[in-house]
Structure 1
Amino acid sequence: MTHPDYRVGTWKADPVHSEIAFSVRHLMLSNVRGRFTRYDVTINTGEDMSESSITTTIELASIDTGNQPRDEHLRSADYLDVQHHSVMSYRSTGIRRDGDGWVVDGELTLHGITRSVSLTSQVNGFAADPFGGRRAGFSATAKISRREFGIGAALPLDGGGVAVGDTVAISLEIEAVLQQ
């Protein structure tokens, strides 16, 4: 990485300036969006960006779609089953250049099942903050199949399609702080 403010070290996501969000098709008509409000993201940057690593733990009970009854249903055994599977975790296994961006290959563990998931990523920059610290910005996206993780039934609709789509789009906007 050739950025004047790039630093080797351990970075932690600032939850006030970061977001882990998702969207999924509902009734084959629209996308329902939500986010997780409690998580830990650690990024260890190496001498070269490809030598870096990422670990993430997300508290599934922190799901927030803006609708309390829906959130409670998503926490239930019908979907996330937070009573038995309280966290989702991601661990990178490699980082590689892809054009102007990066691909983070890794393992996502959700609902007791681990699958390979690649994140299409961008490094948004590195900078000093007004308080004497250092910050970095990262964006990433991925799509997963909820059924591959054993989540939720495919409830068919009379006219075709399903009530809740299988593909879940994930987006991460991470502003991380260099740890001292």
Structure 2
Amino acid sequence: MSSIKNLPTGTWAVDASHTEVGFVARHLMVTKVRGSFPEVSGTVTVAEDVTASTVDVTVGMASVDTRSADRDAHLRSADFFDVENYPTMRFVSTSFDGEELSGELTIKDVTKPVTFEVDFNGVQADPWGNTKAGFEAETEINRKDWGLAWNAAIEGGGVLVSEKIKIVLDVQLLKQA
């Protein structure tokens, strides 16, 4: 891992084609279902003191992709994301200590604090002269805290979908001129 202190100051845009906003949920309490949201945009403003940097990211909820059309349609419905009424999810940072990024996550007009564990993967120039930076981050939330409460009991005990959801980010940023 590179030192976060090597990250150039200024404004960076989320490079959506090289970024994954993913999630992992338990299904039937025995396996994991993974999904992602390909529609993501946002900016990171890196300050001289990297701990004063800010993040503002928006995710298009209708872009959810779990590799199952039926499941994706259910996730878009009022049972879960209700994308017709709440088309986006947003994260706005409140603090960064170099390893933990805290902020406010808004889903379905419910805003709650979350903290991501962050790994900085470095800065690199691409073959076209652009400066890119890479990060990985992870947190775990309880989906019920955001009103995502739908579930079904299963015959052998337990529920169809776990309450705890892991959010996994693999982010590439593009330095703005």
Percent identity (aligned): 37
Change over 3 Å in CA distance of 1:66–1:132 after alignment to 2: same
Paired positions, count: 174
Structure 2 gaps of 5+ residues are none
Question: How far off its partner does 1:2 sit?
Answer: 3.3
Tell me the amino acid that sits aligned with residue 2 of structure 1: K
Partner of 2:170: 173
Question: Higher helix proportion, which one?
Answer: 2
Verify the 8 A CA contact 2:5 2:50 in the aligned structure 1.
no
Q: State the alpha-carbon separation in 2 of the partners of residues 2 and 106 from structure 1.
A: 21
Q: Which moved more, 1:127-136 or 1:65-74?
A: 127-136
- 2:146 matches 1:149: yes
- 2:5 matches 1:2: yes
Question: How far off its partner does 1:132 sit?
Answer: 1.4
Question: How far off its partner does 1:164 sit?
Answer: 0.5
Question: How far off its partner does 1:126 sit?
Answer: 1.1
Q: State the alpha-carbon separation in 1 of the partners of residues 12 and 155 from structure 2.
A: 49
- 2:67 matches 1:66: yes
Partner of 1:40: 41
- Tell me the SS of whatever aligns to 1:77: coil
Q: State the alpha-carbon separation in 1 of the partners of residues 155 and 69 from structure 2.
A: 27
Q: Which moved more, 1:6-15 or 1:166-175?
A: 6-15
Write the deviation string for residues 63-116 of structure 1: whole angstroms up to 9, x where unpaired: 00111111001100111111111100000000013xxxx100100000110000
RMSD: 1.1
Write the deviation string for residues 34-69 of structure 1: whole angstroms up to 9, x where unpaired: 000111121111112111111110010000011111
- Tell me the SS of whatever aligns to 1:120: strand
Structure 1 gaps of 5+ residues are none
Q: State the alpha-carbon separation in 1 of the partners of residues 60 and 122 from structure 2.
A: 27
- Tell me the SS of whatever aligns to 2:82: coil
Question: How far off its partner does 1:159 sit?
Answer: 2.1
State how 1:1-180 maps to structure 2 within 5 Å: 1-3=4-6, 6-97=7-98, 102-180=99-177
What is the TM-score with the length of structure 1 in the denominator?
A: 0.93
Verify the 8 A CA contact 2:15 2:41 in the aligned structure 1.
no
